[in-house]
Amino acid sequence: MERETISVTVNGRAYERAVEPRRLLSDFLREDLRLTGTHVGCEHGVCGSCTVMMDGVTARSCLTFAVMADGAEIETIEGLGSVEAMHPVQQAFWEKHGLQCGFCTPGMLMTAVELLKANPDPSVDDIRDAISGNLCRCTGYQTIVESIQYAAKLMREDGP
Amino acid sequence: MTTQLIGEPVERREDARLLTGRARFIDDIHLPEMLHAAVLRSPHAKARFTRIDASAALALPGVHAVITHEDLGSANAPMPLLNEDPGFIYPRTHQALAPGQVRFVGEAVALVVADSRYLAEDALDLIEVDYVPEPAAVDLAAAAQPGAPLVHDDTESNVACRTADNTGDIESAFAAADFVLREELRPERGAAQPMETRGVVARYDASLEQLTIWDTTQAPVSARGVIADKLGMAEAAVTVIAPDVGGGFGVKIYLVYPEEVLVPFAARMLDRPVKWIEDRREHFIGSNHERLMVHRIEVAATKDGRILGIKDHFLYDSGAYCPYGPINAQCAQAILPGPYKIPAVHSTYEAVYTNTPTVSPYRGAGQPHGNFVTETAMNHVACALGLDAAEIRRRNLVRPEDCPWDSGRIFQGNTPFIHRDSDYPAQLAKALDALDYEGVKRSQPAEREQGIFRGAGIAFFVEGTGISPYEGVEVRVEPTGHVHVTTGYPSQGQGHHTTLAQVVAETLAVAPEQVVVESGRSDRFAWGVGTFASRSAVVGGSAALGAAKAVRARALDLASDELEVAPEDLVLEDGAVHVKGAPQMAVTLGALAYAANPINTLTSGAEPGLRAADYYRSPDGAIASGVHGAVVVVDVATGMVEIETYVVVHDCGVMINPTIVEGQILGGTAQGIGGAFYEKLRFDDDGQPLVTTFMDYLIPTAMEIPSIEIHHMESRCSLNPLGVKGVGEGGAIPAAAAFAGAVEDALEPFGATVRAVPLDPPAILALIEGRAES
């Protein structure tokens, strides 16, 4: 199959790669760039595990073709924070037990980051609404909601 | 000072990698020269075929192989029968690839191996199979009838197994009854649906003649045995590794799924690493299901609400094969009396083959079904006698002063169900108080006048946990001072590495950060079975405690030699042994580990190393228990339900880590609610699955699951040294009954009687309009 060359910035680093037009952004990130932190749970856009940030807004990388990301800035979980220097959202999920198996977690974190950017002091209902497109089968969501509330507090205290 | 760690909400040591995208799940494994596999699955619920034409697929550039049953030879021998049942008539297990006959939509027919998953899936479309469809047995009740199409042609009936378990004098119980409830109750078919699907990666190293398999299994040690057997290899030449696994809930333990043989077979045949990752549609049809049973129950009661006896005859949908034995039916049957003193319980199940995917345990393994039946029947008896649902329970509970109370039931075929170490009346009182049960009941008349339909439901659970087989743990102190803990059972999110580290670190008086835990690798520790049935803390935790205590004793002995002081005058603190009252006279655990390996002076026959392994089995298991309570409001115009309050009172004995315990309860309850609310797998009359995406199978989101209030009642279990009872499944078991009870209570003015779950809006509207099946 013919390939097209795309230029994508991922976590601040520029990549140029030739991809099949049918190649999914999730496969491009995970296999071509070996950024396997973005997970694929359903491949039909419902579970939200594959959520990444594309030009500042969340996108389902399993429903996005890599060619559609040509020229885009992508952020994935690998760019959010490291073990040594965690993003407050990551820190909050750790302290509040917002994860169990951890498979849905990267997508959940990206969604939480987007929410907190738009709304630094969300209510429980705001949080539940914001993450309603991310499925988790382990936690029953309660500790995730608490984690995001706590992350909001940490981020407000840290200041901009 | 020895730091107390057991009982502390220690932060999980698993999380840093998971939170930063550094974890390694099965699909994150990339090996040089790796090929990708896809499975051709049957489009028919029942069909025969004689020819698989793969020529066009093989002609596609990038396709390396198409493997069919003819290529497999002895690797295609039937899979093992894992559980016997005294009532087995026709035990039948699956094969890796269907040999000329398929028995459900989704059954594996061929494996394609290609350069990429895209190409492998392209090739699937080019394979031609000359299927001749045959009539299928799909509906459970119809399949059980004489004359139904046979799932297995070499049988005379689809009834795989018929087993009775009779406790007490049932004739006298029914003769003495003032009232007998008779009805049919039906928990529907569902599935675990972990967020990560299944997957297998295999690499054969011809230079070492070693096969390494990364597998999303909950039982790598057991899987190694089956895979080695099928491939005709020594177990010593096969390693199975469970990497980070994205949820299991039972569906990832099946010894073994076809792909667990096919992928290693292909890797060895092609001498290239091969990866197979299941997609979500495949997971709906190629992985196992759970839940569907039809119970015909009779309950004998006195007019003051004493339950005298239960008769239950139930059908259990086994799907196309029965390699687990009818284990879900066994568990449902064992827990029928629940926490109640019921003098006579007679039950019989028939496990029935149908042309649908195989059924194996999902969180609770039949206990959610048995629980729904008993708890719903309690509600209905109460209603018929004009009693309150809480009051009838109170009148029948096993009380602390009755314990140990032998229910006479046998759990999973080997564990007696004996109540002890818990206070059911106190649990009920706590739940009613937390729910404001009386308040809800008091407000109902006025609310109903205003068109508000609010109801409260309660459901008890008792759960068999910590059951056989055994598990083992090895604890080894390194000369570096690190403590290396290994075990065979893997984790799928339960935080075992944290809880095992807590037990070992406390016993050896080291910081938990000093403890390195490895699990789920058959090359590190190859004894025990796996992770299932709420047993890891009981069985594995107790083994870890035993091993750590043995290491501690050995450390004191070694230090006694080193310091020339009697062991009883020594203490172990902060990673070192020192003389009581003289902390400067000390030797570290690391130095003792070094001394324990005297390479030039070891006495022949002595064991080197500061290490010990322990193996633990709990013959009587450990019964966990609790009460769920729900308050719901039903919108009678739309059939929508809002859960206003949800309370869990539970007793899992000593909590090693309360945060992890709460996580298990919250997640289990959410899954239980999902099964009571929207989740249902449907088939058409020909056995075509109608639910194969998350757009059809509605697992709950953050909008449906309420905040859940948990109350701990920590009664130490007297049967194991840690005092723990299992907690993994207790959340899932009573949720359907509590939810259904609350909906039924809310709809009392409509005379609604709940006899099935899930209760999605159409089902609730049918209840309101009196259209529900009677």
Domain boundaries A81-158, CATH class: mainly alpha
Q: Using alpha carbons, list the distances in angstroms from residue B668 to A75, A138, B747.
A: 32, 7, 26
Is A145–B702 a contact, with Cβ atoms under 8 angstroms apart? yes
Q: Which of B28, B193, B659 sits opposite A97 (nearest CB)?
A: B659
- Whether B113 and B201 map to the same domain: the answer is yes
- Whether B451 and B554 map to the same domain: the answer is no
B409 shares contact with chain A (CB less than 8 Å): no
pLDDT in tens, B569-594: 999 999 999 999 999 999 999 999 99
In chain B, the percentage of residues whose pLDDT exceeds 90 is 96
- Whether B420 and B520 map to the same domain: the answer is no
Q: Could you tell me if residue B350 is inside a domain?
A: yes
B193 shares contact with chain A (CB less than 8 Å): yes
CATH number for position B625: 3.30.365.10
Q: Could you tell me if residue B184 is inside a domain?
A: no
pLDDT in tens, B358-403: 999 999 999 999 999 999 999 999 999 999 999 999 999 999 999 9
Per the CB < 8 A criterion, the answer to whether B159 and B89 are in contact is yes
- Whether B126 and B229 map to the same domain: the answer is yes
| Structure tokens that stand for B249 in this block | 């809930």
Q: Using alpha carbons, list the distances in angstroms from residue B309 to A154, B298, B312, B396, B692.
A: 58, 8, 10, 12, 41
Scanning B653-672 for CB atoms below 8 A from A yields 659-660, 662-663, 666-671
Q: Could you tell me if residue B186 is inside a domain?
A: no
Is B118–A23 a contact, with Cβ atoms under 8 angstroms apart? yes
Question: E strand or H helix at B484, and its extent?
Answer: strand B483-487
Q: Could you tell me if residue B531 is inside a domain?
A: yes
Give the contacts of B467 (CB within 8 A, at least 6 positions apart): B411, B412, B414, B415, B533, B535, B618, B621
Gap from A142 CA to chain B (nearest CA, Å)? 6
- Whether B206 and B319 map to the same domain: the answer is no
Q: How confident is the model at residue B617 (pLDDT cuts 50, 70, 90)?
A: very high
Q: Which of residues B576, B598, B616 is at a domain's end?
A: B616
Alpha carbons B320 and B151: distance in angstroms, whole number: 7
Q: Which one-letter amino acid corresponds to residue A97?
A: H
Residues in a beta bridge with A15: A8
Name the CA dihedral angle for B712, B718, B721, B724, rounded to a multiple of 10 degrees: -20
ipTM for this model: 0.98
- Whether B347 and B480 map to the same domain: the answer is no
* Chain A neighbors of B701, CB-CB under 8 A: 131-133, 135, 141
Count: domains in chain B: 3
Is 0.95 topped by the overall pTM? yes
- Whether B623 and B745 map to the same domain: the answer is yes
pLDDT in tens, B475-489: 999 999 999 999 999
Q: Which of residues B549, B584, B616 is at a domain's end?
A: B616
* Chain A neighbors of B659, CB-CB under 8 A: 97
* Chain B neighbors of A60, CB-CB under 8 A: none
* Chain B neighbors of A81, CB-CB under 8 A: 20
- Whether B237 and B208 map to the same domain: the answer is yes
B81 shares contact with chain A (CB less than 8 Å): no
Which residue ranges make up each domain of chain A? 4-79, 81-158
* Chain B neighbors of A83, CB-CB under 8 A: 16-17, 20, 22
CATH number for position B38: 3.90.1170.50
Range of the domain at B400: 293-467+619-768
Q: Which of B21, B663, B694 sits opposite A37 (nearest CB)?
A: B21
- Whether B756 and B647 map to the same domain: the answer is yes
Q: Could you tell me if residue B19 is inside a domain?
A: no
Among the ranges given (B158-162, B278-282, B598-602, B651-655), the one the predictor scored with the smallest mean pLDDT:
B598-602
Alpha carbons B255 and B82: distance in angstroms, whole number: 8
Q: Using alpha carbons, list the distances in angstroms from residue A63 to A23, B38, B176.
A: 10, 20, 64
Closest to B683 in 3D by CA, of B351, B295, B194, B357: B357
Size (chain A), residues: 160
Gap from B281 CA to chain A (nearest CA, Å)? 8
- Whether B207 and B71 map to the same domain: the answer is yes
Is A94–B12 a contact, with Cβ atoms under 8 angstroms apart? yes
| Number of Cα atoms under 13 Å in the Cβ half of residue B610 | 29
Q: Which of A102, A127, A138 sits opposite B23 (nearest CB)?
A: A102
pLDDT of residue B413: 74
- Whether B461 and B579 map to the same domain: the answer is no
Q: Which one-letter amino acid corresponds to residue B697?
A: Y
- Whether B599 and B624 map to the same domain: the answer is no
pLDDT in tens, A36-79: 999 999 999 999 999 999 999 999 999 999 999 999 999 999 99
For the domain covering A4-79, report its CATH number: 3.10.20.30
Give the strands of the sheet with B307-319, arranged side by side.
B159-167, B344-353, B307-319, B293-301, B179-187, B756-757
Gap from B332 CA to chain A (nearest CA, Å)? 24
Mutate to test the interface with A, among B11, B15, B28, B739 (most CBs of A within 10 A): B15
